[in-house]
Amino acid sequence: MKADKNRIGHHRDSDEKKIPKGGKSDRKKSADGLQDGRRKNTQKRSVERNGFRKDAQKPEAGKRQRTDGGRISGKGTAGEKICPAMKKCGGCSLLKMSYAEQLKQKEDFVRKELKGIIKPEPIIGMEDPWHYRNKVHASFARKKDGSIVSGIYEEGTHRLVPVEDCLIQDERANRIVRDLCGLFESFKIKIYNEDTGYGLVRHVLIRTGHASGEVMVVLVCVSPVFPSKRNFVDALRKLHPEVTTVVLNVNDRRTSMVLGKRDIVLYGKGHIEDQLCGCTFAVSPQSFYQVNPVQTEILYRKAIEFAGLGGTQRVLDAYCGTGTIGLIAAESAREVVGVELNPDAVKNAVSNARRNNRKNIRFVQEDAGEFMQKMAAERETVDVVLMDPPRAGSDEAFLSSLVTLAPERVIYISCNPVTLARDLRYLGKHGYRVRKAVPVDMFPWTASEHVETVALLSRKHPQ
């Protein structure tokens, strides 16, 4: 899933930074789900089912629904929602299928991959599988009549596919994007042309807080100079008073990466805050935060349930990123240690710990596998390891370190059932038993392989 994932038209969340080997992106995995579903994956799988990839890296209210006979049910039905951009966009590849049918398809996919390892519990779907995305990228183009339209790039091109009301994006974000087109026209703002390199505005990123209601608008421009910026922000907030912060992101490189490295706050605090499982997290233009907060809360609560924390356990959060699940676990653990290679993610994690007044958690910037080897060599122990690796799964070096450290429980959160099965087989051969596995539909209407699974493993003890 590495190839071209940072190319516009190939991945909506293409602001991912390149990171050192063994680290974790500030954004979570490519399993944002949307863009991988936009096209059929013509690339070979980067991970073989029975072989480890040595450079594996992380490219980031529903309920279980059953009716009589064990069939899965859901609100969405084929034809209930029609998207005029469906054929050219391709993001919602399962839109013609009822939500009940696609849940069954995803559940069957997980069952097939985990056959012989564990029989998964029924998939947990969404009660309302529409408008769940809290992170929206919009590109723009000027039509022949001079008007500006928003949408996404068609695969492999700079041709814009107009999308006025995406069915899986936050409805507030959809409305803001539509009104930005008019504001760009009114203020005579030039839209950047990828081919000629002429223009100012490249993209707009909108991030919304599901629980907080806060909204951030990020104007991605080639220059830090934005004409009449105060008047522009005032006009935007007059139309949308729900906008709590506006940021100008400068990306002056001839590149298809969406975000540049420099952020200039035009209004507000430069980030939004949102709540997840009782914790508050800051979400900046660059930072990772799961795109489906409703299902993320379900996924994380299930992981904490599997961890069986009772206030006495020491927990290691590997691939901890910005510290979300580790901070949630800290409420019920004696101590949590988060390990992450990406320095920016570690800074965000430390900030989030202060924000939530969590004093029993610390973060270490280091490769998680090497850190576990050091712990084992120093005869340190942990009771539970939380691991949430990239789509490529973990690697043999990490899993070997995990086995050496020998925690009583391992909670494995996966966005790829294929690599999950491979890693579970390895751990099964090295002293662990898979006790439970639950799939969670994080990305409704996208391809069947885009499904999260949380698995519980416990250490085998001699009889």
Q: What is the pLDDT of residue 433?
A: 98
pLDDT category of residue 185 using cuts at 50, 70 and 90: very high
- Which is more confident, 235 or 289? 235
Work out whether the CA dihedral 188, 194, 197, 203 comes out positive or negative.
Answer: positive
pLDDT at 53: 42
Residue 332: is it exposed, middle or buried by C-beta count within 10 angstroms (0-12/13-18/19+)?
Answer: middle
The pair of structure tokens assigned to 219 is: 């104007």
Looking at residues 266-291, what average pLDDT do you find?
Answer: 95
pLDDT tens-digit readout, 400-446: 999 999 999 999 999 999 999 999 999 999 999 999 999 999 999 98
For residues 303 and 328, what is the distance between their CA atoms, to the nearest angstrom?
A: 10
- Our CA angle for 257, 259, 264, nearest 5°, is 155
Average pLDDT, integer, range 35-47: 39
Q: How confident is the model at residue 463 (pLDDT cuts 50, 70, 90)?
A: low
Distance CA 409, CA 460 (A): 10
CB atoms within 10 A of CB 381: 13
Give how far the C-alpha of residue 112 lies from the chain's centroid of Cα atoms, to the nearest Å: 24
Q: Over the chain, what is the mean pLDDT?
A: 84
Q: Which of 128, 125, 83 is nearest to 103 (CA)?
A: 125
Residue 85: predicted pLDDT? 82
As a whole number of Å, the CA-based R_g of the chain is 22
Give ∠ CA 386-61-213 in degrees, rounded to 5: 95
Does residue 149 register a pLDDT over 60? yes
What is the per-residue pLDDT for 462? 75
341-350 per-position pLDDT tens digit: 989 899 999 9
Alpha-carbon separation of residue 365 from 203, 359, 391 (angstroms):
32, 18, 21
Distance separating alpha carbons of residues 74 and 64, to the nearest angstrom: 10
* pLDDT over threshold 50, residue 268: yes
Position with higher pLDDT, 345 vs 31: 345
* 221 a catalytic residue: no
Q: Residue 81 has what pLDDT?
A: 60
Residue 68 dihedral angles phi and psi, to the nearest 5°? -55, 140
Q: Which residues contact 135 (CB under 8 A, 6 or more apart)?
A: 13, 32, 205, 206, 207, 208, 289, 291
% residues pLDDT > 70 (the chain): 82
Domains in the chain: ranges and CATH:
20-38+48-130+291-463 (3.40.50.150), 135-276 (2.40.50.1070)
d(CA 16, CA 186): 32
What single letter denotes the amino acid at residue 181? C
Measuring CA to CA, which residue among 338, 284, 331, 322 is closest to residue 304?
331
Whether residue 273 has pLDDT greater than 60: yes
- Report the distance separating Cα 376 and Cα 408, nearest Å: 14
Angstrom distance (rounded) from CA 445 to CA 443: 6
pLDDT of residue 155: 66
- pLDDT at res. 364: 96
Q: What is the pLDDT of residues 322-340, one digit of tens each?
A: 999 999 999 999 999 999 9
Amino acid at 285: P
For residue 123, CA distances in Å to 63, 169, 438, 452, 454 come to 9, 22, 6, 10, 11
pLDDT exceeds cutoff 70 at 157 = yes
Residue 319 marked in a binding site? yes
Instruction: Give pTM, 2 decimals.
Output: 0.82
432 among annotated binding-site residues:
no
Catalytic one of 166, 277, 320, 415: 415
Contact 367, 24 (CB under 8 A): no
43 is in an annotated binding site: no
Give the list of residues 6+ apart from residue 399 with CB closer than 8 angstroms, or none. Answer: 52, 423, 426, 427, 430
Q: Is 340 annotated as ligand-binding? A: yes
| Residue 267: other Cβ atoms inside 10 A | 20
pLDDT tier for residue 35 given thresholds of 50, 70 and 90: very low
